[in-house]
Amino acid sequence: MELCHGETGESTRRDFMMNISEPYVIHYPRIVAIAQKNGTRVELVEFFDCVGGAMWSKCHYVQSPIVEQVRCVGSTMRYLLKTGSVDLALEGSRFPAGISACMVDDSEIGIRYIGMGGGGVGAAACRSGAAGVLRSRSDESGGGKVAGSTIWLPRMQRVLIGVDDTDTPEEGATWTLVHNIAKAVEDESSVYLSHTIVQLFPVPYRTKNCVGLVAEFATTDPDWLISRFRQLLERYTLSDKTGMAVYSGFTPSPELIAFGWEVKRGEINPGLLETLRDTDLRIILNGRGIIGAVAALPFFTQYEEALELCNGKT
- Evaluate whether residue 216 is within a structural domain: yes
Q: Does the structure show a pLDDT above 90 at 313?
A: no
- Evaluate whether residue 314 is within a structural domain: no
pTM assigned to the model: 0.90
Let me know if 178 is exposed, middle or buried by CB neighbors in 10 A (0-12, 13-18, 19+).
buried
Q: Are residues 190 and 240 in the same domain?
A: yes
Q: Does the structure show a pLDDT above 50 at 148?
A: yes
Q: Are residues 197 and 296 in the same domain?
A: yes
Structure confidence at residue 1 as a pLDDT band (50, 70, 90): very low
Distance CA 76, CA 49 (A): 9
At 236, the amino acid letter reads: Y
Model confidence pLDDT, tens digit, residues 76-130: 999 999 999 999 999 988 999 999 999 999 999 999 999 888 788 778 788 989 9
> Which of 104, 123, 155 corresponds to the end of one domain?
155
Q: Are residues 118 and 236 in the same domain?
A: no
- The angle formed by the CA atoms of residues 106, 107 and 111, to the nearest 5 degrees, is 100
- Evaluate whether residue 275 is within a structural domain: yes
The CATH number of the domain where 245 resides is what? 3.30.70.2200
Give the domain extent around 120.
24-155
